[in-house]
């Protein structure tokens, strides 16, 4: 069973398709990184899943049930755009309202639990409007976590956070999935951060899903390369290009793509009279994979 | 880590309880409610204090005229005939608009609609909470009027049974009015100012007053919210109360069904 299964989903605004016959599959227990440029349809898709927008056509199933099923929707937590809290109410009051809304029996205990998860035990009585951006995002996650959701939908939760905020958020997300086995759909622009936590990826462009893959599939698809430094970079580049073809100079390093035999490269360069001062084997990351994918789509 | 996933559909009562619980929690924790209760008490006291004092401009000689007219008057002769407990429905309209407006402005409505797939929960909850707050305003209005009557020494002579039916009738009408305001706020959810203005416009009963100018003091007007609210007057009886209950319930049902349909068919934003 999949946590989310979307088939042929479309949504248009004034004749412009924000989501265009989208297919999406999120396995149960996954941390699904939802990637795409601004206006690609990520947020619209998430809003459609949460029932905030009405689709033009298509089918959305959550845990095998129609997404309008009250039983499944009560187990969905979301942080879309903002935390959805009343600014003049305290953090505790906002959480209390959501706990009442969800019909949670032992509300105080549940609020303490989620505040602990988001590391905000000491900030319960601060007014929401007095909280920093990082705190507000964490409160949004706490709101979404109330009632033990089976599915969490997080729209850009790490946007605008400082390094420490991002680290805390990452730890929280890993905690949630490891301790509670919650399925998480998370959209973000910060691919480096996403790469550290996601188990699955979906890349969307102009409302269409371009590719869906697991982290291990990305690992397999990602191109390997050897990066190296020599005194005569231009000469070495020419020599390497003559033998290996795909050579680029990036960040003061020469990158030889689709080759992982470092000994062979060093031997070849020595033969040609170039001394290698630094050398390492690499794989391109999610960010570079994404950029490459986008450029190839643009070229097509 | 694998875990068993259970999805139990909450019953209608459970869903409504959750939504009502939030709305009542909000209502009692927001200064807005208490401010409007105070306004509902102060306004009749001010009107009676200024227009009930002895002198050339004395418009009220009986305290209960600030609660309701002697007979159902749809076509009125003076401004004082408008100024009775029906004003609560204008205050209530503004309060319901602000209350629902905050749902949208804060984004809390997203939390509600994420976990509540059934839109009728939202309509019913807002209507019931709005009705409760307006009924409370009716009570503070009554006390404000009585206190002012004692201070300016206007007459308290009245048929107690009719007064009770009139006050209860107006309190019952709160449900119909609250449903109308919730419906208007759903339609104008993207335009907070328009929501308040439309609530104020309908709350004044100007459409029924305009219709009355054409058809006269006709009992046909009792099928409308403002008409039935006017019908709950100081000559009211048990039948008046039944008419108010029927009118309020019917309009509440109509507005709730329409509002839920609109919410189900339209985007939240």
Indicate the fold that domain A2-218 takes in CATH. Answer: Rossmann fold (3.40.50)
**pLDDT confidence of residue B16:** 92
Q: Does the distance separating the beta carbons of B29 and A101 come in below 8 Å?
A: no
B261–A contact, CB cutoff 8 A: no
pLDDT score for B52: 65
B140: left (phi over 0), alpha (psi -120 to 50) or beta: alpha
pLDDT tens digits, one per residue of A168-200: 888 888 888 778 778 999 998 778 878 888 999
The winner for highest mean pLDDT among A184-198, A272-286, B1-15, B121-135 is B121-135
Cross-chain residue pair A78–B117, CB shorter than 8 Å: no
Q: Is B15 on the interface with A (CB under 8 A)?
A: yes
The 8-class DSSP code of residue A81 comes to: S
**Residue B233 CB coordination number (10 Å):** 24
Please give the distance of CA A144 from its chain centroid, rounded to a whole number: 17
Q: Is B3 on the interface with A (CB under 8 A)?
A: yes
Q: Which residue of A has its CA nearest to B22?
A: A97
B3 contacts A50? CB cut-off 8 A: no
Q: Quick check: B75 pLDDT over 80?
A: no
Mean pLDDT in residue range A277-286: 84
Q: Which residues of chain B have a CB within 8 Å of the CB of A82?
A: 107
Report if residue B4 sits inside a domain: no
Tell whether the model's pLDDT for residue B78 goes beyond 80: no
The region that residue B246 occupies, defined by phi over 0 for left and psi between -120 and 50 for alpha, beta otherwise, is alpha
pLDDT for position A157:
87
pLDDT(A298) > 70: no
The pLDDT, as a whole number, for residue B219 is 85
pLDDT digits (tens, 9 = 90+) for B190-243: 899 999 999 999 998 888 888 888 888 788 889 999 999 999 999 999 999 999
* pLDDT greater than 60 at residue B27: yes
Q: State mean pLDDT over A97-123.
A: 92
Which residues of chain A does B268 touch, with a Cβ-Cβ cutoff of 8 Å?
47, 51-53
Query: Structurally, how many domains does chain B consist of?
Result: 1
Burial degree of A82 (CB within 10 A; 0-12, 13-18, 19+): middle
The larger pLDDT score, comparing residue B130 to residue A180, is at B130
Judge whether B7 lies within some domain: no
**Does B106 touch chain A if contact means CB atoms closer than 8 Å?**
yes
Percent of chain A's residues with pLDDT above 70: 99
Quick one: pLDDT at residue B35? 95
Question: Which range among A18-22, A214-218, B221-225 shows the weakest confidence by mean pLDDT?
Answer: A214-218
Q: What is the CATH number of domain A223-283?
A: 3.30.70
Q: How far is the alpha carbon of A299 from chain B, nearest alpha carbon, in Å?
A: 36
Q: Which residues on B lie below 8 Å from A84 (Cβ)?
A: 106-111
3-state DSSP call for residue A115? helix
pLDDT tier at B80, thresholds 50, 70, 90: low
Upper half-sphere CA count for residue A186 (Cβ side, 13 Å)? 32
B18 and chain A: CB distance < 8 Å anywhere?
Answer: yes
Q: Tell me whether residues A101 and B115 touch, CB distance under 8 A.
A: yes
The partner residue sitting opposite A52, judged by closest CB among B1, B108, B267, is B267
| Average model confidence (pLDDT) across chain A | 90
Let me know if residue B63 belongs to a domain: yes
Cβ–Cβ pairs < 8 A, chains A and B: 119
pLDDT above 70 as % of chain B: 93
pLDDT of residue B58: 66
Domain parsing of chain A, residue ranges: 2-218, 223-283
Residues A47-55 have a mean pLDDT of: 95
> Which pTM was predicted?
0.85
A69 and B112: CB-CB below 8 Å? Answer: no
Q: Give the model's pLDDT for residue B2.
A: 55
* pLDDT number for residue A287: 80
- A143: chain B residues, CB-CB within 8 Å: 111
Of A28, A52, A83, the CB nearest to B113: A52
Contact between B259 and B182 (Cβ < 8 Å): yes
pLDDT at B269 over 80: no
The string of DSSP codes covering chain B is -------PPPPHHHHHHHHHHHHHHHHHH-HHHHHHHHHHHHHHHHHHHHHSSSSTT---SBGGGGT--SS--SS-SSGGGT-STTHHHHHHHHHHHHHHHHHHHHTHHHHHHHH---HHHHHHHHHHHHHHHHHHHHHHHHHHHHHHHHHHT-B----HHHHHHHHHHHHHHHHHHHHHHHHHHHHTTT-HHHHHHHHHHHHTTHHHHHHHHHH-S-GGGGGSHHHHHHHSSTT--HHHHHHHHHHHHHHHHHHHHHHHHHHHHS---
Q: How many CB atoms lie within 10 A of CB A192?
A: 11
Nearest CA in chain A to B122: A101
> What are phi and psi for residue A100, nearest 5 degrees?
-65, -45
- The owner of tokens 């950029």 is A291
- Domain range enclosing B256: 12-265
pLDDT digits (tens, 9 = 90+) for A128-160: 999 998 899 899 999 999 988 999 999 988 877
């Amino acid at each position: 069973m999949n946590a989310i299964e979307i088939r042929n989903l479309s949504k248009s605004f004034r004749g412009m398709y924000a989501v265009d016959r989208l297919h999406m599959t999120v396995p149960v227990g996954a941390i699904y990184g939802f990637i795409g440029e601004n206006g690609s349809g990520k947020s619209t898709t998430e809003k459609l899943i949460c029932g905030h927008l009405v689709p033009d056509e298509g089918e959305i199933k959550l845990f095998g049930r129609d997404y309008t099923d009250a039983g499944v929707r009560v187990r969905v937590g979301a942080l879309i755009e903002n935390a959805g809290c009343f600014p003049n109410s305290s953090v505790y009051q906002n959480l209390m309202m959501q706990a009442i809304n969800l019909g949670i029996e032992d509300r105080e205990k549940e609020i303490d639990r989620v505040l602990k998860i988001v590391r905000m035990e000491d900030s319960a009585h601060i007014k929401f409007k007095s909280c920093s951006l990082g705190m507000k995002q964490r409160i949004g996650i706490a709101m979404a976590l109330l009632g033990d959701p089976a599915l969490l939908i997080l729209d850009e939760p790490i946007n605008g956070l400082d390094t420490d905020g991002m680290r805390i958020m990452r730890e929280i997300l890993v905690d949630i999935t490891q301790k509670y086995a919650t399925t998480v759909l998370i959209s973000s622009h910060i691919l480096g951060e996403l790469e550290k936590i996601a188990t699955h990826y979906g890349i969307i462009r102009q409302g269409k899903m371009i590719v869906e893959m697991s982290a291990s599939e990305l690992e397999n698809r990602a191109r390997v390369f050897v990066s190296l430094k020599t005194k005569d970079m231009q000469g070495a580049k020419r020599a390497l290009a003559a033998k290996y073809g795909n050579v680029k100079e990036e960040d003061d390093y020469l990158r030889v793509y689709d080759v992982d035999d470092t000994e062979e490269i060093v031997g070849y360069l020595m033969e040609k009279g170039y001394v290698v001062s630094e050398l390492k084997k690499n794989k391109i990351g999610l960010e570079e994979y994404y950029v490459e994918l986008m450029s190839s789509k643009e070229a097509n | 880590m694998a875990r068993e996933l259970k999805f139990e559909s909450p019953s209608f009562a459970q869903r409504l309880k959750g939504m009502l619980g939030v709305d009542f929690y909000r209502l009692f924790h927001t200064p807005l409610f208490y401010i409007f209760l105070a306004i509902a008490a102060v306004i009749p006291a001010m009107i009676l204090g200024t227009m009930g004092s002895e002198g050339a401009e004395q418009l009220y000689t009986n305290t209960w005229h600030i609660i309701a007219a002697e007979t159902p008057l749809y076509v009125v002769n003076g401004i004082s005939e408008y100024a009775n407990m029906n004003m609560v429905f204008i205050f209530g309209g503004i309060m319901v608009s602000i209350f629902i407006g905050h749902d949208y402005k804060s984004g809390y409505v997203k939390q509600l609609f994420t976990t509540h797939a059934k839109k009728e929960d939202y309509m019913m909850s807002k209507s019931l909470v709005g009705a409760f707050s307006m009924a409370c305003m009716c009570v503070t209005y009554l006390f404000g009027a009585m206190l002012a009557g004692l201070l300016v020494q206007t007459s308290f002579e009245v048929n107690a049974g009719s007064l009770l039916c009139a006050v209860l009738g107006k309190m019952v009408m709160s449900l119909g009015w609250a449903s109308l305001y919730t419906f208007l706020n759903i339609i104008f959810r993207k335009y907070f100012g328009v929501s308040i203005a439309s609530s104020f416009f309908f709350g004044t009963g100007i459409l029924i007053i305009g219709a009355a100018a054409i058809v006269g003091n006709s009992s046909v007007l009792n099928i409308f919210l403002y008409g039935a609210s006017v019908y709950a007057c100081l000559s009211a009886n048990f039948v008046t109360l039944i008419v108010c209950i029927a009118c309020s319930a019917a309009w509440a049902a109509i507005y709730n069904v329409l509002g839920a349909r609109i919410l189900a068919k339209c985007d939240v934003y």
